[in-house]
């Protein structure tokens, strides 16, 4: 059952500009509840724009995005049409965008820019409080999520501006997961982090996904896609070109066409093949299988 | 943020092609014209009306939509009301005998029509000044404005004032306006997804929401400026070095003609000013032109 759906979604950044172009053009996708989705594509293909419509930060110029029963569009007539057959509660719900933003947590590229409070703890409490939690409750969830992202308790009363870039990023992510959104959207969460930081953030995201939440990640890191995603959405020049699984995507010949990188493991396999490696190298999609095959061929 | 009020739009009209130094001069000159004393209210409004007409014509030539001014005036309403309160309720000087009463309270306190006119007058001046600045900024590339400024600061160089530093500061500031606007958009989006609503709520709540924007913006401003200064140092920028400009400003015939037109307009306004201020008994331009009696 889909949880997020877009229909004929088109977005133009500056309509008044005489040479405007579509940043997104006729996108139709469905994302299922509990999925781990990666959105990939070269820079400027419209990934960030697409995910911002999930949160009503960007309203589709034509067509619409639907998150459960929440309709997001700038076309008033269309919205009226869509809401016509809905119940009273749904119509009421649609009037309050805060309800949607509570449901869809969005972590931006370089989220460290959003920090503003005097202390780290207060900053993380800010989101939950905005979504109607009481102070004590907010504090509780804030402490919990700060611990989850690996910020030690001794930091809680420090200013967020004294942190390193990676630590700031964690605090910012904690600020989003503290409101426990059903859908977590992350725009390039690992850009500019060290390998360990990447691993930790992804481990955290995986843990959140395992609690049954939908996770959507925009990324250029194909290793991440291979290791975590179960669905990949490929955008190219504002258009949707493929919705598939990582294995199918990386075993097809389209990677070059979409300007996507090959994951490390496939690069390695290709090198082995080129060197005339004797063993069977087909149908390998993870590191364990690869090692098994190599050992097999070496008779270890 | 691409249709920011007053943002430079690279059309190719005559106004765009004029020398920035001339445009700068004309801006200042016409602004001063807004503020000359023109005698009584009838005179003032006629003169400002003529000025407004000139400005509208320039805007049309420069492909600026004059109506777009009004959409950007929304934020000025508060100021207008504030001015109105001050001018209507504060007595207009000592001599009230020449004023026209509007409302007389039982205790003798009087509100005068002049208060209303005064507000209108100040507001009109403000709008005209806004329009003038808008014309300059939307027809002149920011760098050209700084070149013009640099040229005007030239006399200060003679007394060893480091004008090039001032121009560098100004050009950097201009350069970073769009960047900051972009950044504030980003921050606002991030805060919105944390549940901040910038449009709703009462004043106290709005102030709180604004701080969630201002603080991150200031922080990034500071870190940006530190980075920028380091980058400039790294590339060997010497603030006291002699600057040469890659663009050389040339004065064309069209500039000369425009300068002449500007001076002509200026002298007309100054004449109007002198006429209404110094000729006893003939303080009314209306009467002069059409023989009509105004109040
Ligand atoms: N604020 C904006 N104003 C105008 N155009 C924009 C704006 N933001 C993005 N665009 C344009 O919209 C298109 C899609 O941009 P988007 O940010 O969605 O790309 P992206 O796929 O996220 O790229 P990246 O991988 O670099 O983050 C690009 O062509 C970009 O130039
Ligand atoms: Mg992006």
**Mean pLDDT value across residues B208-233:** 91
Point out the residue among A97, A98, A113 whose CB comes nearest to the CB of B190: A113
- Cβ contact, residue pair B211, A55, below 8 Å: no
What's the distance, CA B91 to chain centroid? 29
Q: Is the CB of A236 under 6 A from ligand 1?
A: no
pLDDT at B43: 81
Nearest ligand for residue A234 CA: 1
Does pLDDT of B202 surpass 80? Answer: no
3-state secondary structure of A214: strand
pLDDT at B1: 38
Does pLDDT of B279 surpass 80? Answer: no
Q: Whose CA is nearest to atom 5 of ligand 1?
A: A13
Task: Name the residue among A101, A104, A99, A107 with its Cα closest to residue A175.
Answer: A107
- Cβ contact, residue pair A114, B187, below 8 Å: yes
Dihedrals phi, psi of A110, to nearest 5 degrees: 55, 60
pLDDT at B59: 92
Higher pLDDT, B109 or B51: B51
* Chain A residue with Cα closest to B187: A114
Question: If you count residue pairs, one on A and one on B, with CB atoms under 8 Å apart, how many are there?
Answer: 61
Query: Which residues in chain B are closer than 8 Å to A108, comparing Cβ atoms?
Result: 186, 189-190, 193
Task: Name the residue among B223, B275, B196 with its Cα closest to residue B36.
Answer: B275
| Shortest distance, CA A177 to any CA of chain B (angstroms) | 10
Q: Is the CB of A47 under 6 A from ligand 1?
A: yes
Nearest ligand for residue B189 CA: 1
Query: Which residues in chain B are closer than 8 Å to A130, comparing Cβ atoms?
Result: 194-196
Beta strands in chain A (DSSP E): 2-12, 22-32, 36-40, 62-67, 70-72, 104-107, 183-187, 214-218, 231-236, 239-244
What's the distance, CA A73 to chain centroid? 21
Quote the percentage of chain B above a pLDDT of 70.
89
Does pLDDT of A281 surpass 90? Answer: no
Give A68's contacts (C-beta < 8 A, 6+ positions apart).
Answer: A3, A103
Does pLDDT of B186 surpass 70? Answer: yes
Q: Is the CB of A23 under 6 A from ligand 1?
A: yes
Highest mean pLDDT pick, A18-27, B17-26, B67-76? B17-26
pLDDT single digits (tens) B230-275:
999 999 998 888 777 777 778 889 999 999 999 999 999 888 888 7
Point out the residue among A108, A116, A127 whose CB comes nearest to the CB of B195: A127
Higher pLDDT, B121 or B100: B121
pLDDT at B295: 45
Radius of gyration of chain B (CA): 24
CA distance A10 to A230: 26
Quote the percentage of chain B above a pLDDT of 90.
26
3-state secondary structure of A231: strand
* pLDDT band at residue A19 under the 50/70/90 scheme: confident
Does pLDDT of B98 surpass 80? Answer: no
Q: Is the CB of A41 under 6 A from ligand 1?
A: yes
DSSP assignment, residue A86?
Answer: S
* pLDDT band at residue B280 under the 50/70/90 scheme: low
CA distance B290 to B283: 13
pLDDT single digits (tens) A78-115:
999 888 888 888 888 888 888 999 999 999 887 778 88
- Cβ contact, residue pair A115, B216, below 8 Å: yes
Q: Are A197 and A173 in contact (CB under 8 A)?
A: no
Radius of gyration of chain A (CA): 21
Nearest ligand for residue A43 CA: 1
**Mean pLDDT value across residues A189-198:** 86
Q: Can you give chain B as a three-state secondary structure string? A: CCCCCCCCCCCCCHHHHCCHHHHHHHHHHHHHHHHCCCCCHHHHHHHHHHHHHHHHHHHHHCCCCCCHHHHHCHHHHHHHHHHHHHHHHCCCCCCCCCCCEEEECCCCCEEEHHHHHHHHHHHHHHHHHHHHHHHHHHHCCHHHHHHHHHHHCHHHHHCCCCHHHHHHHHHHHHHHHHHHHHHHHHHHHHHHCCCCCCCCCCHHHHHHHHHHHHHHHHHHHHHHHHHHHHHHHHCCCCCCCCCCCCCCCCCCHHHHHHHHHHHHHHHHHHHHHHHHHHCCCCCCHHHHHHCCCCC
**Mean pLDDT value across residues B109-119:** 80
Task: Name the residue among B281, B282, B269 with its Cα closest to residue B48.
Answer: B269
pLDDT at B116: 82
Task: Name the residue among B55, B13, B8, B53 with its Cα closest to residue B30.
Answer: B55
* pLDDT band at residue B32 under the 50/70/90 scheme: very high
Nearest ligand for residue A23 CA: 1
Q: Residue A14 Cα, ligand 1 centroid: separation in angstroms?
A: 12
Alpha-helical regions (H) of A6-114: 47-53, 76-83, 88-94, 97-103
User: Which residues of B sit within 8 Å Cβ distance of A?
Assistant: 2-3, 183, 186-187, 189-197, 211-212, 215-216, 219-220
CA distance B157 to B150: 10
Sign of torsion, CA B97 B98 B99 B104? Answer: positive
| Shortest distance, CA A130 to any CA of chain B (angstroms) | 5
Q: Got the DSSP string for A242-260?
A: EEE-HHHHHHSS-TTTTT-
* pLDDT band at residue B293 under the 50/70/90 scheme: low
Which ligand 1 atom is the nearest neighbour of the CA of A235?
21
- Cβ contact, residue pair A131, B195, below 8 Å: yes
CA distance B77 to B92: 23
Does pLDDT of B97 surpass 70? Answer: no
Q: Nearest 5°: CA angle at A62, between A59 and A67?
A: 50
- Picking from B3, B68, B193, B209 by the largest number of A CB atoms within 10 A of its own CB, the best residue to mutate is B193
Give exposure, A83-118, as e/b (b: 16+ Cβ within 10 Å): eeeeeeeeeeebeebbebbbbbbbbbebbbbbbbbe
Query: Which residues in chain B are closer than 8 Å to A55, comparing Cβ atoms?
Result: 192-193
Does pLDDT of B45 surpass 90? Answer: no
pLDDT at A187: 92
pLDDT at B160: 83
- Cβ contact, residue pair A111, B189, below 8 Å: no
Higher pLDDT, B217 or B161: B217
The whole-chain average pLDDT of chain A stands at: 90
Query: Which residues in chain B are closer than 8 Å to A138, comparing Cβ atoms?
Result: none
Q: Residue A41 Cα, ligand 2 centroid: separation in angstroms?
A: 10
Alpha-carbon distance values, A219 to A69, A189, B105, B130 (Å): 27, 8, 71, 45
What's the distance, CA B83 to chain centroid? 18
**Mean pLDDT value across residues B159-163:** 84
pLDDT at A3: 94
pLDDT at B251: 84
Q: Residue A268 Cα, ligand 2 centroid: separation in angstroms?
A: 28
Does pLDDT of B294 surpass 60? Answer: no
State the number of CA atoms in the 13 A half-sphere of B228 facing the CB: 12
3-state secondary structure of A163: coil
Tell me the domains of chain A and their CATH numbers: 2-262 (3.40.50.300), 263-300 (no CATH)
**Mean pLDDT value across residues B25-39:** 89
- Picking from B9, B180, B194 by the largest number of A CB atoms within 10 A of its own CB, the best residue to mutate is B194
Highest mean pLDDT pick, A103-112, A159-168, A218-227? A218-227
Pairing of strands B110-112, A104-107: unpaired
For A287-293, which contacts have Cβ atoms below 8 Å and span 24 or more sequence positions? Answer: A290/A265
DSSP assignment, residue A188?
Answer: S
Give A196's contacts (C-beta < 8 A, 6+ positions apart).
Answer: none
DSSP assignment, residue A262?
Answer: P
Mutate to test the pocket of ligand 1, among A44, A57, A108 (most ligand atoms within 8 A of CB): A44
């Amino acid at each position: 059952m889909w949880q997020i759906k877009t229909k004929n979604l088109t977005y133009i950044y500056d309509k008044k500009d005489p040479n405007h172009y579509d940043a997104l053009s006729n996108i139709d996708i469905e994302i299922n509840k509990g999925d781990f989705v990666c959105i990939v594509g070269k820079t400027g293909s419209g990934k960030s724009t697409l995910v911002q419509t999930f949160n009503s930060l960007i309203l589709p110029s034509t067509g619409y995005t639907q998150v459960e029963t929440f309709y997001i569009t700038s076309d008033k007539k269309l919205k009226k049409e869509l809401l016509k057959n809905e119940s009273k509660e749904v119509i009421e719900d649609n009037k309050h965008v805060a309800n949607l933003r509570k449901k869809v947590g969005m972590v931006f590229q370089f989220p460290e820019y959003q920090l503003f409070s005097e202390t780290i703890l207060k900053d993380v409490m800010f989101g939950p409080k905005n979504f109607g939690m009481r102070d004590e409750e907010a504090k509780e969830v804030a402490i919990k999520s700060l611990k989850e992202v690996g910020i030690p308790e001794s930091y809680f009363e420090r200013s967020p501006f004294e942190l390193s870039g990676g630590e700031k990023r964690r605090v910012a992510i904690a600020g989003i997961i503290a409101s426990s959104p059903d859908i977590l959207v992350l725009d390039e969460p690992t850009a500019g982090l060290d390998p360990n930081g990447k691993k930790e953030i992804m481990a955290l995201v995986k843990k959140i996904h395992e609690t049954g939440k939908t996770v959507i990640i925009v990324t250029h890191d194909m290793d991440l896609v291979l290791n975590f995603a179960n669905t990949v959405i490929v955008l190219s020049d504002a258009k949707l070109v493929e919705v598939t699984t990582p294995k199918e995507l990386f075993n097809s010949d389209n990677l070059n066409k979409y300007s996507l990188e090959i994951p490390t493991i496939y690069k390695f396999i290709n090198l082995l093949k080129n060197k005339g490696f004797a063993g069977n190298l087909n149908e390998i999609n993870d590191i364990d299988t690869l090692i098994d095959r190599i050992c097999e061929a070496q008779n270890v | 943020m691409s249709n920011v009020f007053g943002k430079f739009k690279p059309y190719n009209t005559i106004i765009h092609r004029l020398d920035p130094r001339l445009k700068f001069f004309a801006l200042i000159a016409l602004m001063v014209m807004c503020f000359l004393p023109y005698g009584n209210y009838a005179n003032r409004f006629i003169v400002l009306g003529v000025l407004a007409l000139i400005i509208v014509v320039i805007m049309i030539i420069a492909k600026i939509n004059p109506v777009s001014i009004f959409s950007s005036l929304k934020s000025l309403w508060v100021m207008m009301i504030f001015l109105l309160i001050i001018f209507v309720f504060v007595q207009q000087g000592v001599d009230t005998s020449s004023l026209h009463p509007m409302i007389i309270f039982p205790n003798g306190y009087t509100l005068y029509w002049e208060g209303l006119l005064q507000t209108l007058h100040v507001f009109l001046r403000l709008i005209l000044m806004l329009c003038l600045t808008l014309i300059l900024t939307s027809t002149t590339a920011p760098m050209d404005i700084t070149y013009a400024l640099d040229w005007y600061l030239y006399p200060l160089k003679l007394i060893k004032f480091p004008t090039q530093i001032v121009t560098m500061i100004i050009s950097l500031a201009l350069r970073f306006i769009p960047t900051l606007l972009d950044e504030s958009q980003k921050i606002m989006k991030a805060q919105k997804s944390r549940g901040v609503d910038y449009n709703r709520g009462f004043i106290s709540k709005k102030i709180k929401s604004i701080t969630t924007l201002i603080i991150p913006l200031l922080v990034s401003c500071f870190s940006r400026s530190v980075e920028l200064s380091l980058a400039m140092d790294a590339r060997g920028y010497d603030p006291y070095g002699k600057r040469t400009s890659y663009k050389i400003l040339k004065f064309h015939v069209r500039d000369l003609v425009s300068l002449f037109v500007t001076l002509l307009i200026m002298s007309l306004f100054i004449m109007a000013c002198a006429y209404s201020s110094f000729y006893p008994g003939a303080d009314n331009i209306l009467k002069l032109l059409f023989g009509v009696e105004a109040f």
